[in-house]
């Protein structure tokens, strides 16, 4: 046993040798902080919207916590594998296999807790908005109860996957284990069906709202992301039929991470409106960008024209120039017309205000003539 431990310690970082394990490392490392950031933004939006955090917000915090713990357990498990096949790990170091399976089963239980908390968060949001309608309220209670019962069933049956239980960590112990594909089918199928049921319920609740057609479609797309969570569940079922155990192990972990992240999006996006840019913001932003680019092109054309004039007379650089204000020139009739917003020249006679009848009642009263001339490019 000591020799095996020494051999394990001497192994360097070789995770990159296996493409699926390395892809799992990248995906989990990228999505984990983004998912946590979404939950933080949720509370920022609640603060800016002057809304006190409710049950759905605290359930989202639990969902983000279990999301992080699930990915952490998966990362530690593949770091123990370290690029090896599962059969190779069992042959080289049974102790490493035992440690890997412990982190694997811990990540599974964290995943079960994440699934429960994220769906209860969405259902709590449904309740806060649509609970005035009694049929909607009943369906919200039924779906929440169904997901809670599934969570309890998952936790019990996962512990009964291997008989005796310790065979899950040590294959040398006599006994039997239920096939991983069968376990995933039994868990993901009802889980995905509840996802679809929540999306259908949202579609029915959105339909009678007094909103514009465009706004209703935005809400349908937003809540319809839950259907993607259910579809990923069936993708995970298909992956378990791969002939390679290691490929199935890593790819299921990758799709589980994506599935949890999409569920966090469904949970957090509906309440992020106070911090999202409005249509007026994007309109002003595009207007400023167009104006800036037009000004840059016009400035470049004006600079090229002036340089050509100076080089033609041979002494243009000795001329005294008129003072400028903030890099703008007053344009005369013979000036180059290169600026997008030239200064407007004002031509008028000057009068004192006291010389005029301010009420404008006398037909022969003096007036002020203002002429504004623009050079438009």
Cis peptide before 49 (omega within 30 of 0): no
Please report the pLDDT score of residue 6 as a whole number: 40
Q: Compute CA 106 distance to the chain's CA centroid, rounded to the nearest angstrom.
A: 27
The rounded distance, in Å, linking the Cα atoms of 335 and 186 is 81
- For 22-26, the CB contacts below 8 A with 24+ separation are 23/250, 23/254, 24/74, 24/78, 24/250, 24/251, 24/253, 24/254, 25/75, 25/78
**Closest CA relative to residue 105, chosen from 180, 1, 213:** 180
The rounded distance, in Å, linking the Cα atoms of 332 and 185 is 81
The rounded distance, in Å, linking the Cα atoms of 312 and 276 is 55
Please report the pLDDT score of residue 20 as a whole number: 82
Phi, psi of 162 (to 5 degrees): -115, 140
Name the CA dihedral angle for 303, 305, 311, 312, rounded to a multiple of 10 degrees.
-170
Per-residue tokens: 350: 């000057």
Please report the pLDDT score of residue 49 as a whole number: 84
**Closest CA relative to residue 21, chosen from 83, 66, 72:** 83
β-sheet bridge partners, residue 339: none
Distance from the first to the final alpha carbon of the chain = 84
Burial class (CB in 10 A: 0-12, 13-18, 19+), 214: exposed
**Closest CA relative to residue 28, chosen from 263, 250, 264, 192:** 250
Please report the pLDDT score of residue 260 as a whole number: 94
C-alpha separations of 199 from 54, 126, 138, 208, 225 in Å: 22, 11, 16, 16, 8
The label of the residue with tokens 């908005």 reads: 129
Sheet strands (E) in the chain: 162-163, 176-177, 345-347, 371-373
The rounded distance, in Å, linking the Cα atoms of 78 and 29 is 13
Q: Compute CA 32 distance to the chain's CA centroid, rounded to the nearest angstrom.
A: 11
**Helices 19-48 & 55-81 angle (0-180, nearest 10):** 160
**Helices 94-130 & 134-159 angle (0-180, nearest 10):** 170
Helix, strand or coil, per DSSP, at residue 320: coil
**Helices 94-130 & 245-268 angle (0-180, nearest 10):** 20
Q: Judge whether 236 and 252 are in contact, CB under 8 Å.
A: yes
Please report the pLDDT score of residue 178 as a whole number: 87
C-alpha separations of 245 from 84, 88, 183, 248, 249 in Å: 12, 12, 14, 5, 6
The rounded distance, in Å, linking the Cα atoms of 203 and 374 is 55
So where are the chain's domains?
A: 13-276, 328-377
What is the pTM assigned to this prediction? 0.70
Please report the pLDDT score of residue 270 as a whole number: 85
The label of the residue with tokens 């009642």 reads: 361
pLDDT in tens, the chain (377 residues): 444 444 444 455 666 777 888 888 899 999 999 999 999 999 998 888 888 888 999 999 999 999 999 999 999 988 888 777 777 777 778 888 888 889 999 999 999 999 999 999 999 999 988 888 899 999 999 999 999 999 999 999 988 888 999 988 888 889 888 888 888 888 899 999 999 999 999 999 988 888 788 888 888 888 888 899 999 999 999 888 877 777 888 888 899 999 999 999 988 888 888 777 654 444 554 555 556 566 556 666 566 566 555 555 554 444 444 444 444 444 444 333 333 333 333 444 444 444 444 444 444 445 555 555 555 54
- The yes/no answer on whether domain 13-276 falls in CATH 1.20.1070 is yes
């Amino acid at each position: 046993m000591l020799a095996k431990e020494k051999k394990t310690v001497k192994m360097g970082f070789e995770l990159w040798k296996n493409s699926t394990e390395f892809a799992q490392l990248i995906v989990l490392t990228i999505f984990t902080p983004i998912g946590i950031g979404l939950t933080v933004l949720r509370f920022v939006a609640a603060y800016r919207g002057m809304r006190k955090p409710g049950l759905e917000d605290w359930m989202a915090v639990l969902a983000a916590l279990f999301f992080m713990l699930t990915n952490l357990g998966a990362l530690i498990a593949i770091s123990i594998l370290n690029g090896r096949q599962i059969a190779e790990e069992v042959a080289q170091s049974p102790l490493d296999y035992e440690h890997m399976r412990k982190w694997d089963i811990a990540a599974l239980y964290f995943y079960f807790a994440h699934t429960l908390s994220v769906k209860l968060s969405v259902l709590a949001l449904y309740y806060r908005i649509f609970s005035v309608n009694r049929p909607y309220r009943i369906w919200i209670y039924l779906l929440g109860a169904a997901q809670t019962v599934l969570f309890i069933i998952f936790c019990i049956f996962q512990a009964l996957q291997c008989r005796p239980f310790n065979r899950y960590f040590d294959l040398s112990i006599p006994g039997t284990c239920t096939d991983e594909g069968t376990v995933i089918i039994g868990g993901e199928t009802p889980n995905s069906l509840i996802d679809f049921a929540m999306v259908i319920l949202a579609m029915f609740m959105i339909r009678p709202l007094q909103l514009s057609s465009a706004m209703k479609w935005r809400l349908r797309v937003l809540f319809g992301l839950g259907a993607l969570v259910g579809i990923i569940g069936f993708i995970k079922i298909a992956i378990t039929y791969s002939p390679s155990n290691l490929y199935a192990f890593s790819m299921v972990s990758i799709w589980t991470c994506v599935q949890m992240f999409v569920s966090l999006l469904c949970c957090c996006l509906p309440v992020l409106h106070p911090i999202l840019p409005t249509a007026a913001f994007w309109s002003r932003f595009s207007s400023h960008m167009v104006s800036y680019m037009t000004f840059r092109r016009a400035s470049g054309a004006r600079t090229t024209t002036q340089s050509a004039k100076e080089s033609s007379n041979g002494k243009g650089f000795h001329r005294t120039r008129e003072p400028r204000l903030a890099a703008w020139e007053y344009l005369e009739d013979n000036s180059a017309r290169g600026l997008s917003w030239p200064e407007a020249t004002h031509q008028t006679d000057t009068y004192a205000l006291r010389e005029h009848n301010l009420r404008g009642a006398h037909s022969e009263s003096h007036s002020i003539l203002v002429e504004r001339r623009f050079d438009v490019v």
